[in-house]
Chains A and B, each alone.
Chain A
Amino acid sequence: MHEYSIVASLVDRVQREVDTRPGAVVRKLHVRIGELAGVELELLRTAFVTFRERSVCDGAELEIESVPASWRCSRCDRVIEPGAVLRCPICGRAAKLATGDDIILERIEMEVRDV
C-alpha cells in the first residue's frame, strides 16, 4: 500500500507549486504511471481521493496515463516481446526496459486569479 505514500509525495509537490502562486486553485493533475512501476492504479485513485481532502488538492481530479511495459535489446534495439526471455534472440544481449517504469507528475492545471 505504498500508493498512499506516493500520493503524500504528490500532494507535497503540488503544494510547492501553489505556494509560489497565492490564491491558485488546483483543478487537475496529470500523472504518468508505467506498467512496471509497481503502482496499482486503482489503489492510487483511492489513495488520492482519501488524501486530497483538506489538502491543496481538495476537489482536484487525477488523470492517470498508463504506460505499457516494453523491452528492447540493449545493443541492436530489437523489440523483445512481453513475456519472452529478456535476452535478444539475435545478438544475445540482455534486454533493457524501454518504457513502463514511470512514476511522473506531468502537469498541474490550476485556476489563478487575474490581477
Chain B
Amino acid sequence: MCEDCGCGDPELVPIDVHEHILADNGARAAHLREHFVEAHVLAINLMGSPGAGKTAVLEQTAKAFAGKRRLGAVSGDLATDRDARRLEAAGITARAITTGSACHLDARMLHDALHHMTWRDFDTFFIENVGNLVCPAIYDLGQAANVVALSVTEGEDKPLKYPVMFRNADLVLLTKIDLLPHLDVDVAAIRDGLSRVMPDPRMIAVSGKTGQGIGEWLAWLESRRTP
C-alpha cells in the first residue's frame, strides 16, 4: 500500500505456501512407514462402514493363521474397547484407540498407541479404522495397503457413492457372503461399480461366519509381504 512516506499503513502481501494441508500427518505417517518396513511388519489399514464385519474378518484371520503369524492390531472406535477385546479373545494382541468424537484415525493417534505395544514383535499388524466410509480414506497411517470391508447388505451402489474410499483401496473384502442366498444383491453390479472407481479393482468374497474366502485373503496378505 504505502511504501514511501513512512506512515506505517499496512501492506497486503501474498505468501505462497503450496503445501498439502495434512502435511504434518503425512510426515508422521512416513515416519511410521519407515519403522514398519524396517521391522518387516506388514501394516494393513482396514476400513469400512460400521458393522461391515471388519472385526469378524480379523477373528477369522487369526483362526486361519492358527498361530503361524504373530498378529497385532489397534482398533479405533469413538467409544469402548469392545473390538479390541474381541480381537484379543481371538488371539490377536490388540489395543483400543478411543477417538472420542473423531471419525478417523490419524498418524499421531496410531503413533501414540504403538508406544504402548511391542509392535516390532508382530509380522502382521492390522489397523482397524473407525467405521466410516468417508473420513479414514484421506489420512495416511504409514500402512503398506488399504483394505476396505464392504458387506453384501450395504447395497450395490456403495462404491459409486463413496468413490474416495474405494479409489484408495488396494483390496475390497466383500463380507457376509453367507447371507447372499437371503438377499437380492447382484455381486456383478458391485464388481462393475468397483471397476469405475478403483483403477486396479481387486475383490475377495469372504464370510466371517463360515470362513469362506479367508484362505484367498490370507494368500493376498502373504503376497503383500516384503521378503
Contacts and interface: CB of A to CB of B under 8 A. Distances in A.
Instruction: Indicate, yes or no, whether A interacts with B.
Output: yes
Interface of A: 1-2, 5-6, 9-10, 12-13, 17, 25, 27, 31, 36-39, 71, 74, 83-87, 94-97, 103-115
Contact of A9 (B7, B12, B24, B200): B24
> What range describes how many residues of B lie at the interface?
35 or more
A37 B11 contact: no
Interface of B: 2-3, 6-25, 102-104, 106, 134-135, 137-139, 163-165, 167, 192, 195-201
A31 B21 contact: yes
A114 B18 contact: no
A112 B163 contact: no
Contacts of A111: 10-13
Given A38-B134, A74-B199, A105-B21, 15 more contacts: A17-B17, A36-B167, A85-B192, A86-B201, A87-B195, A95-B199, A107-B14, A107-B17, A109-B14, A110-B13, A111-B10, A111-B13, A112-B13, A113-B10, A114-B11
Contacts of B18: 104-107
A104 B17 CA distance: 9
Contact of B22 (A27, A97, A103, A109): A103
Nearest to A23: B10
B2 to A, nearest CB: 6
Contacts of B197: 86
A1 B103 contact: yes
Contacts of A85: 192, 195-196
A58 B15 CA distance: 18
B138 A109 contact: no
A38 B22 CA distance: 13
A109 B13 contact: yes
Nearest to B137: A38
Contact of A110 (B6, B12, B192): B12
Contacts of A74: 199
